[in-house]
Chains A and B, each alone.
Chain A
């Protein structure tokens, strides 16, 4: 299924092209709140997203995944860069879009939030929560609104007759379904999901993930999916992007990356996967040193302080995310072509 989707996606070209995207947060100190430094949460990132694919964004906590997603939705103002969306009926640069253009684009680019506990207004009934984008954008009301809300509820597997209930009367999994229904209300093309299952019980995580997969196929959505959980990425994505300290370090087909990563950080990430089989322990690649402070990203390759393959060049010369050979895969490592890194299976054996 992933192959067919990926092939289809390739034909239809890119829906998002991100170029030189940065977000630097000021660090303020003292009573006068003067800026003493910058957190480079996202630093000069460029990547493409193909129409109809599911792109999984993975990386340790603090690597900037949420910030990238929020920038794409323009929930945050970027410091620099361009975010071109090639939507069905228009082309928008979300980094600079204003007023009406932004309004129109936001109908097509929708967010599923991490924690349904805080993303649903506790004072509103499901009818009003799912109906809000419809009321605001399409001025729907009365019967038409109810009918649309009910069909969205059915679409995400909720019982439409429960539309007068408040969020607290639903379980965590059901609340996330409400969040998905709201995101789908305006017929989006792109769904941005930030760890949509990390706040849920393990038992319902799979249900929500499957729901997203089914909806993506059924509605032809492009999904960008953030997680720090590799098993979720393996289950969900067509392609995978790996983030480290505000940089994209590797981007490529999911299967190829899991089989043979091209960046030392990806390999290290795989060796930290929870054990599916306790009798075949992974050969862990133990990283030396702590994750550097995002406020002081190392010079050269951001990973050089912990990389087991580091050479002198890595300390001064920053590697760019570029295609490795003609594999169609991208990595940001000076030695990506030479290193023979181990995939998930090899690490298991």
Chain B
């Protein structure tokens, strides 16, 4: 037999299990070495967890109005942290004092001092406003809340506003948590659309050179040469104001993706061009493998890891796009809740001066953009586990 010379036994001391490790496992190992990327991944996962369970994680309904003084409803209450030092001097579990409204007779400024004679503890898993999780799981349990013994719709209900309230006396903290839903999913959905467009056009363009490639290249050049923001604005102005939130949401996602896929498609094309000439693709062709098999088994998996890294890096752009458009009033509107919609309140200098906490929704935008960038960098480095 041909085995006379015998197989060359090779690095037998290497751990047996890594012989069979797939590309994804090697990528995971390499990703885990990237500390910032791991931190980013934790933030991202936490973000999507909040987006899924916003009703449970948020203490209040995002539309609920707080009445400190039943006479007025547009009360801008500043942020407040729970206390642990009791007026008696001792340390306690987190608690709050109810607020009272005071108006300075000379300046007419309204302030909200605490009534330190009473205190209510913060409790985990408290009953509050009822909600339906995912539209069908009924519950009224919230992760945390002030246990004051009153019903959620009692006007006297004592509330803790970590990030203050907006001009309509709604809890900014709860609204930011609910905003996660649209702001983060528009990133995912937008990138999913870009992914499909980039794969389809990039692979076709790279694999079949010639007139088809030329046509796609020219289209990409045109699309990349138009300045994005003005075009986004033009397109979003054409969205009818009467459309329901969900339809506007999809329209905005499509608008954002339509202008962002060319960059990705170009990366895909370049990678396909180089992969097409690798010997294993030529070899598959000589094996009689049909074009579809070469594309789906050899080409696309070969560029998948790079593509996922690029896509992760493209998510912040879509999140920023939605935030910018909504901030400018061209994207989503109330009653939709997104970080961009929340930031509309911070448009006027006057409100920023009186209620600087209305700018807090900028923080999650920055946080998640950084997180996605860290994750994307980590993925890009991990994308080629065989290189090391």
Contact surface of A with B, Cβ cutoff 8 Å? 73, 75, 103, 106-107, 110-111, 113-115, 118-123, 125, 132-133, 136-137, 154-159, 162, 164-166, 168-171, 173-174, 177, 182, 204, 207, 210-211, 214-215, 218
Query: Is B10 a contact partner of A171 (Cβ separation < 8 A)?
Result: yes
Query: Is B286 a contact partner of A207 (Cβ separation < 8 A)?
Result: no
Chain A residues with Cβ below 8 Å from B228 are none
> Given the known A-B contacts A111-B283, A136-B287, are A166 and B2 also in contact in the complex, defined by CB atoms under 8 Å?
no
Nearest chain B CB to A151's CB is how many angstroms away? Answer: 11
> Given the known A-B contacts A133-B288, A136-B288, A136-B293, are A218 and B5 also in contact in the complex, defined by CB atoms under 8 Å?
no
Query: Is A174 a contact partner of B287 (Cβ separation < 8 A)?
Result: no
Chain B residues with Cβ below 8 Å from A137 are 287-288
Q: How far is the CA of A73 from the CA of B298 in the complex (A)?
A: 20
Q: List 15 A-B contacts (CB under 8 A).
A: A75-B285, A75-B286, A103-B288, A119-B280, A119-B283, A120-B280, A123-B301, A125-B20, A159-B7, A166-B20, A171-B11, A174-B8, A182-B287, A207-B5, A207-B8
Chain A residues with Cβ below 8 Å from B8 are 171, 173-174, 204, 207
Chain A residues with Cβ below 8 Å from B6 are 157
Give the total of B residues in contact with A, Cβ under 8 Å: 34
Q: How far is the CA of A177 from the CA of B282 in the complex (A)?
A: 18
In B275-310, which residues have CB < 8 Å from any A CB? 278-280, 282-290, 293, 298, 301-302
> Given the known A-B contacts A166-B22, A204-B8, are A155 and B279 also in contact in the complex, defined by CB atoms under 8 Å?
no
For the residues of A in contact with B, the DSSP-based class is: helix
Q: Which of B4, B5, B21, B285 contacts A166 (CB 8 A)?
A: B21
Chain A residues with Cβ below 8 Å from B22 are 123, 166
Query: Is B19 a contact partner of A165 (Cβ separation < 8 A)?
Result: yes
Q: Which of B3, B19, B278, B280 contacts A157 (CB 8 A)?
A: B3
Number of A-B pairs whose CB atoms are under 8 Å? 97
Nearest chain A CB to B254's CB is how many angstroms away? Answer: 33
Query: Is A154 a contact partner of B285 (Cβ separation < 8 A)?
Result: no
The answer to the question of B18 belonging to the interface, with a C-beta cut-off of 8 Å to chain A, is yes
Query: Is A211 a contact partner of B10 (Cβ separation < 8 A)?
Result: no
Query: Is A115 a contact partner of B286 (Cβ separation < 8 A)?
Result: no
Q: Mark B92-132, 1 if CB is under 8 A from A, else 0.
A: 00000000000000000000000000000000000000000
Chain A residues with Cβ below 8 Å from B298 are 121
Q: How far is the CA of A170 from the CA of B283 in the complex (A)?
A: 19
Nearest chain A CB to B192's CB is how many angstroms away? Answer: 23
Nearest chain A CB to B33's CB is how many angstroms away? Answer: 18
Q: How far is the CA of A114 from the CA of B283 in the complex (A)?
A: 11
Return the chain A residue nearest B302 by Cβ: A123
Additional 12 contacts, C-beta under 8 A, given A114-B279, A119-B278, A165-B20: A73-B286, A75-B286, A113-B279, A118-B278, A123-B23, A125-B20, A136-B293, A169-B14, A174-B10, A177-B7, A210-B4, A214-B2
Return the chain A residue nearest B305 by Cβ: A123
Return the chain A residue nearest B301 by Cβ: A123
The answer to the question of B386 belonging to the interface, with a C-beta cut-off of 8 Å to chain A, is yes
Query: Is B1 a contact partner of A155 (Cβ separation < 8 A)?
Result: yes
Most buried by A among B3, B18, B280: B280
Chain A residues with Cβ below 8 Å from B18 are 169
Q: Which of A174, A210, A215 contacts B7 (CB 8 A)?
A: A174
In B315-341, which residues have CB < 8 Å from any A CB? none
Chain B residues with Cβ below 8 Å from A114 are 279
In the A-B complex, the 3 residue pairs with the smallest Cβ-Cβ separation, listed nearest first, are A119-B279, A171-B10, A169-B19
Query: Is A132 a contact partner of B284 (Cβ separation < 8 A)?
Result: yes
Most buried by A among B18, B279, B301: B279
Chain B residues with Cβ below 8 Å from A155 are 1-2
Query: Is A170 a contact partner of B10 (Cβ separation < 8 A)?
Result: yes
Nearest chain B CB to A112's CB is how many angstroms away? Answer: 10
Nearest chain A CB to B13's CB is how many angstroms away? Answer: 13
Nearest chain B CB to A146's CB is how many angstroms away? Answer: 15
Q: How far is the CA of A174 from the CA of B286 in the complex (A)?
A: 22
Q: How far is the CA of A180 from the CA of B287 in the complex (A)?
A: 13
Return the chain B residue nearest A125 by Cβ: B20
Q: How far is the CA of A169 from the CA of B20 in the complex (A)?
A: 8
In B45-102, which residues have CB < 8 Å from any A CB? none
Chain A residues with Cβ below 8 Å from B290 are 136
Q: How far is the CA of A119 from the CA of B281 in the complex (A)?
A: 8
Chain A residues with Cβ below 8 Å from B386 are 122, 168
Q: How far is the CA of A136 from the CA of B11 in the complex (A)?
A: 33
Query: Is A136 a contact partner of B280 (Cβ separation < 8 A)?
Result: no
Q: How far is the CA of A232 from the CA of B222 in the complex (A)?
A: 55
Nearest chain A CB to B303's CB is how many angstroms away? Answer: 11
Query: Is B280 a contact partner of A210 (Cβ separation < 8 A)?
Result: no
Return the chain B residue nearest A211 by Cβ: B2
In B1-45, which residues have CB < 8 Å from any A CB? 1-8, 10-11, 14, 18-23
